[in-house]
Structure 1
Amino acid sequence: MMKAARAQVAQAQSSGIAPENGSLHLQLIALETDLKRLKSCDRISDRITMKRDELLPKYRPFVERYLAENEIYTNSLFAHVVVWLFDVGEFQQGIEWALLCIEQQQPTPDNMKRNWPHFVADSVLAWCEVQAENGQAVEPYCSQVFKHVREDWRLNERLTAKWWKFVGLMLIRDEKGKPKPSAVFDIEQLKKARVIFQTAHDFHTNVGVKTYIEKIDMRIRKLTDG
């Protein structure tokens, strides 16, 4: 019995392979081996490919089993899988499981200095900014995360302001996806954007919304006079 257990540990250490029904201890040994392999990849694109094509298919079933058992305990395997989901752009599953991590008070992986709310807010905002710049949709993930930014996550002022700014920019984008108050004809929409930009400014004065506020005021005056 002890010989078989030692063999499983040795296999996990050398190959990163643990039995499908193996203990969390064995999975974590395998995970350490895979994390070393991941770290050895010099290109970010190679790391993403490894996470998407190899590590997530390998470890996701263990997370699903952990969640199905409905027993809460510190599970760093769960934490790593959640981070990988964001890294490969699987935001639907990533956000859902990150919220569970927050609820369960799971620590973030050891190599991360941010807590879960800051990690999720940073990751989704970065994705939203790229999407918006390319004229692509940002929903439903933008609204899902902004709801928490607005209502219950105590993020630092800078990140909070950046989120409010982004939401304001979405209200004044033209048909090409560029923020342009002069392209908006709805006064109420302009007023709403102004309030949002002012909130961003109140959180962090250097977030860069003063010019937008001034242009919105000019646009409202022009529409009103016209």
Structure 2
Amino acid sequence: MAMSPAKRHFLRVTAAQEAAATAPEQPMDGSGAYELQMAQLHQHYQQLKGVQSAQGKAELKAKILPDYAPYIAGVLASGQGAQDEVVTTVMLWRFDAGDYAGGLEVAAYVLAHGLKMPDRFERTTGCLVAEEIAEAALKAIKAGGSFDLGTLAEADRLTAGHDMPDEVRAKLMLAMGRVAAALVNPEQPADGDVHSLEVARHFLTRALELHPKCGGKRDLELVDRQLKKHAEQKPS
């Protein structure tokens, strides 16, 4: 059952006050709003365990995420960087549910304050954020869909100073290159095609520099051919 506006307001304000009062890197354990959200998180974990389908899990996460919105809003508004499993979990669930902008909004706080992922995660937070967004974009393009280039750029910006394997950074560059290239339809030339292709070439080249076996060689060859074609068609 959806929370009443009054309850949502109370939870947001309480979360903001408790997050503001908890020192950086200290756990939020013992805070009333946090403990309530952790209890709810445990219940939702049990629900998710009962769903085998990845798509089904994503749909369930999208359904339950609004229950955490007031708490997240309060923490992001006033938090000092206390360790918070609710915040890191919601960040991931937003990615899983396809709310990439919402996930990156939380990621900005998580990365700025150095929040750690729960012990079950082997990847660092920056690595996880970059890879989650990159894989979502690559999956969308492979399926013939699209992905927002700005979302990828924001993931790159937020994780720029964070250490991760070159293969992961290359995956993000590859995704940016493929998304930019996908903006161009060779059958229907449009203004801005050259710019999109140049952007694609930049990121595909960077991906191959970081990881020569990233899978972007053929993409780069296609982009170069299209740029050459545009150059040949340009009036002298």
TM-score when normalising by structure 2 = 0.67
Question: CA separation in 2, counterparts of 1:108 and 1:117?
Answer: 10
Match of 2:53 among 40, 43, 50: 43
Amino acid in the other structure paired with 1:41: V
Q: C-alpha displacement at 1:112, in angstroms?
A: 2.3
Match of 2:110 among 98, 101, 117: 101
Matched, 1:146 2:153: no
Which residue matches 1:92? 101
Name whichever of 133-142 and 152-161 sits farther off.
Answer: 133-142
5+ long unaligned stretches in structure 2: 1-9, 15-31
Q: Retained in 1: the 8 A contact 2:173–2:207?
A: yes
Q: How many residues align?
A: 201
**Counterparts of residues 1-226 of structure 1 (less than 5 Å):** 22-54=32-64, 56-132=65-141, 133-148=143-158, 151-173=160-182, 175-176=184-185, 193-215=200-222
Question: CA separation in 1, counterparts of 2:169 and 2:199?
Answer: 18
Q: Percent identity among equivalent residues?
A: 20
5+ long unaligned stretches in structure 1: 1-18
After superposition, the Cα gap between the structure-2 partners of 1:165 and 1:72, relative to the gap in structure 1 and judged at 3 Å, is: closer
Q: CA RMSD in A?
A: 3.4
Q: Retained in 2: the 8 A contact 1:131–1:138?
A: no
Which residue matches 2:19? none
Q: Retained in 1: the 8 A contact 2:131–2:172?
A: no
- The CA deviation string for residues 167-208 of structure 1, in whole angstroms up to 9 with x for no partner, is 3334444755xxx7xx89977865664443332222111112
Name whichever of 188-197 and 57-66 sits farther off.
Answer: 188-197
Amino acid in the other structure paired with 2:205: Q
Higher relative contact order (CA 8 A, sep 6+): 2
Question: CA separation in 2, counterparts of 1:192 and 1:49?
Answer: 34
